[in-house]
Chains A and B, each alone.
Chain A
């Protein structure tokens, strides 16, 4: 049986547009304009979820993003499902489905509810204390905890929606479109500031838009009427952009804010497709005006969490804005006048209000008088000591408060009710303010934290700035606007406000009960089930810092970040520890203010845009020829080219043999290329490489090793002198960007006097590396006119020539030890060049090979790969490459460090070759090397850096770094593996063609 609690038509609810939706499998109806929460309340559904630890039944508490209880799974089981959504923020649409989260098997009957009866065994720190031991039981505990803890289910299929990012620049950003935000935006825009107004709800106006209280008037009108006119005018102003359903998630330094704009969440499934669902706005604002309002505080008393217990202000909003009565027997519990406004709102709509329990001794404002006239019973100086009703509130018990407010006296009165509105005062929403780095100060009189020290150009206006009454709001807003926008007059100058509100408030953080605190459940954090009792226990156990108490009790650590209860937690700590709240400080509010979807965070960077790949001009050929690829930095490089179902090993063995026996070709386009020009280019190279460059003749190439200033090898490559003042440097594929950055750094900061210009030309050239004994014959076929004799074109030299009419640069250099040529052409001719080489090489069985074969061939020659055989701790001396370090040069980058006592140690790790005693065993790269097997703990001498089976030598070879390895030639060592020890012998790292005879073969 469901009751209809729709009371009176509201202009924000379209009763002609009836919408059906499902909650926990049952069909309900609501209207266009309803949130899931308002529609459920209209159907008299309060029970929407279970609490996290005790699985207590919980209902809707609020009407906004601060909701701690009504957390639902939207559209369960579909590809658009989303967990942890606040029912108070979901706009209903035809076909919407939602379900409760933290319950099993159902919200009505939840097995975990037994925890509630076991709660004496679940005190603060329960998880820390209980699940610590024995350690081996952790897996079982984890299973149990995960199974019974319900934080919703993440979708298991691909997100069908599109997400977007947009950069926004504005003069003034106004956050929040209540009365303060609207008037701020209006005056900013009218004064020629490019203004952006963002509002998390779908309607502008905040709480003033349904403020029909007859005691408050603006320009002699009801505040709601007055504001509606302002909003109409606002929409016509140029220079102003308004974004609703847009919530600011983060406020970073330098007025950089992130906001999520919701575009399709309120639409039916059929209207969602092919549209952007959510957009992340990256806002840079010159000035920020925070008008984020205030959140009503609950009151902390025994059993204050039952379904039907709500914030007083939420009850008012449901009644005035949504036209929904939250109960048929309503009671309010308050410490200030705002509950009376809610009571009058209900009374005016014909909704029954049984009583108001007020902890104050009295209040004489007009609104209190009006309540008295309406015949509503007021219990002054009374407090609620208990409530009953498991799945829905059905009564409260009240008692008289003692004068000091710490105990209750007299007899207990029971009042039957089905809805209780609590009003504990207001907390300014300063979350975004503190995220920006600005500092708060505690106001002892108002018992609130208020903005104090701004770090960027920003102001906080309205209730988030500590002004709660309309007259104060208008007056202070006016002054702040004039100051921050530097203007003399505003629309607010002539506004006349009449109000009747009393400030009187009696603040008691924890209300007493007739039972001892140990026997009560006064919830402070509803979502995490943290009670005042837990906080007091934490203090007794010695916790003092607010950050520690928070983590120990889990107060404020839920998805709502304790928006409702944080102040009470602080208050209870301060009272118990006998310190002032201002001295206690507050916990940190971290972004996001409300949760963001992953989709919004990543935006368009999904699928092929997730990570950018670089592909060479020959890429299509590699794909057509079934190459396997490997990622090298951002490059996709051909790894090997399997034929007829070959394994990687088989393909690499075949490619390696072919390259040495006849001809191979490698796509080397990814090597970094830096064009170096200027009258000091030679001097510059002298300073950045370890060897000498001044005497390199034009048209010659030289291998260079580059160090860090600490003496460790940084990069290597061949540099060619193209002209008197012109070189082209090659770098490793992965190091290209860093090498350019490092060289620029030295040029700009240490040696600005050098006349040198660096340009990255990596992407401008495509490079085919042709190698093997037949490479010369193939090149001859392609460029018949070029004299390829050793006299005219020797090893380590360069020719600029043409293939047909395509300009090309050819270096006769070798990374394999074979006779070889690197042919460079303009990138757009790369594939053409490659195909010409393949065509010309056919008669020689030219074999394309990938990076794996390249690595194997160079390992046979003992050539290092920077980053594989080095790791930032190897000097050239460690690599046994003393020959490349100039003794004559006075200085080069890293030189001085080669003479530090540490780099000169004899027992540093040094590069050596390793041969396995059994030539068929291939060592694992990274395997550890020891000299003793029966030592404990065993001394690690080094590790294997490169290891392959060499098809040309028909045995396993490896490079390794070994402590003192330089003097260990021929020494027997061991590589202990999981189930065997491998015997190895230290060898010369040059395994193949030690005399370099094949270079001229």
Chain B
């Protein structure tokens, strides 16, 4: 059970949150211009790294806000948390 520091509410138990997959995948602005392969790349391809991973999380049972998290999947260390729209911290 992680202790997650929601940028809007502060530290809360993991069970209040929902994981939302890989972060920083922007929905294409002009989907119709894309080939099937390019669209499939956006739609299906997600990384599953052993190590430092950028993820989206949602404080589903709290403020309902989405935010980003940098997590080391090998030991579940949360390295950083930042709001949507903010730049990821330098690695």
Contacts and interface: CB of A to CB of B under 8 A. Distances in A.
Interface stretch (A248-256, A319-327, A667-675): A248-256
A256 B39 contact: no
Contacts of A900: 36, 39-40
Nearest to A254: B3
A745 B3 contact: no
A748 B3 contact: no
Contact of A455 (B40, B66, B75): B75
Given A253-B2, A744-B64, A901 B36 contact: yes
A434 B60 CA distance: 31
Interface in A738-765: 741, 744-745, 748-750, 752
B32 A745 contact: no
Interface in A876-909: 890-891, 895-897, 899-901
A132 to B, nearest CB: 36
Given A437-B75, A752-B84, A752-B85, A253 B65 contact: no
A995 to B, nearest CB: 36
B19 to A, nearest CB: 12
Contacts of A252: 1
A259 to B, nearest CB: 14
B2 A748 contact: no
A155 B31 CA distance: 61
Contact of B60 (A709, A741, A897): A741
B3 A896 contact: no
Contacts of B85: 752
B16 interface: no
Contact of B66 (A710, A748, A891, A895): A748
Contacts of B13: 284
B20 interface: yes
A256 B76 CA distance: 13
Interface residues of B, number: 28
A748 B58 CA distance: 10
Interface residues of A, number: 24
Contacts of B36: 900-901
B32 A896 contact: yes
B27 interface: yes
Nearest to A257: B1
Given A710-B43, A745-B20, A897-B39, A254 B32 contact: no
Nearest to A760: B64
Given A253-B2, A890-B32, A744 B66 contact: yes
A738 to B, nearest CB: 11
A276 B12 CA distance: 28
Interface in B74-91: 75-77, 84-85
B42 to A, nearest CB: 8
Interface string A427-461: 00000000001000000000000000001000000
A709 B41 CA distance: 13
Contacts of B32: 890-891, 895-896, 899
A758 to B, nearest CB: 9
Contacts of A710: 43
B34 interface: yes
Contact of A896 (B31, B58, B60, B64): B31
A437 B76 contact: yes
A970 to B, nearest CB: 35
A745 B58 contact: yes
Interface string B16-39: 001010000011101110101001
Contacts of B76: 253, 437
Nearest to A747: B66
B27 A750 contact: yes
B34 A896 contact: yes
B35 to A, nearest CB: 10
Contacts of A455: 75, 77
A634 to B, nearest CB: 14
A256 B12 CA distance: 12
Contacts of B66: 744-745, 748-749
Given A253-B1, A900-B40, A895 B75 contact: no
B43 A897 contact: yes
15 contacts: A253-B2, A256-B1, A709-B27, A741-B60, A745-B20, A745-B58, A745-B66, A749-B66, A750-B26, A752-B85, A891-B32, A895-B31, A896-B31, A897-B43, A901-B36
Given A284-B3, A741-B60, A744-B58, 19 more contacts: A253-B2, A254-B2, A256-B3, A437-B75, A709-B43, A710-B43, A741-B58, A744-B66, A745-B66, A749-B66, A749-B84, A750-B27, A752-B84, A891-B31, A895-B31, A896-B28, A897-B39, A899-B32, A900-B36
**6 shortest interchain CB distances as A-B pairs:** A896-B31, A254-B3, A256-B1, A748-B66, A750-B27, A896-B39
